[in-house]
Structure 1
Amino acid sequence: MEIKRVLIDTNIYIEFMRGNEEIAKTLQTAEIIAFSVISIAELLAGFKNTKKEQNYLKELDDFLDS
């Protein structure tokens, strides 16, 4: 039996958060979802000093916990 694994990058995460249904379906069917450290660093750098920094951090934290 093959395990469906998905490695997402910054662009995929952003599109998922924007409501891309195709990406959502792919992630819902994955048994393992991996997120590269580089992508997390890119997101954190992008969140820094924005008006919604705390909201973005909470969304990312919720995503990583799910």
Structure 2
Amino acid sequence: MRKNYFTKLVRYMKNVYHIENGLNKLTDGRIKPTYDTGMVVTLVLMGFLIRIKSFNELNLMIKNN
């Protein structure tokens, strides 16, 4: 896999599907949320794209650089 494949994939999603417009419109029922719903969904989607199986695995990846 090429080094900048992920960057090209994200750029493609933005240009073709305008995914950030849809993610910015997402809402939920939380009162005074710390993080926007769109931001949370974006991070989960990115984790799915790079095949992170759980938040625990993500935590380990962050600790191990």
Give your verdict on TM over 0.5.
Answer: no
The TM-score normalised by the length of structure 2 is 0.30
The TM-score normalised by the length of structure 1 is 0.30
Larger Rg: 2
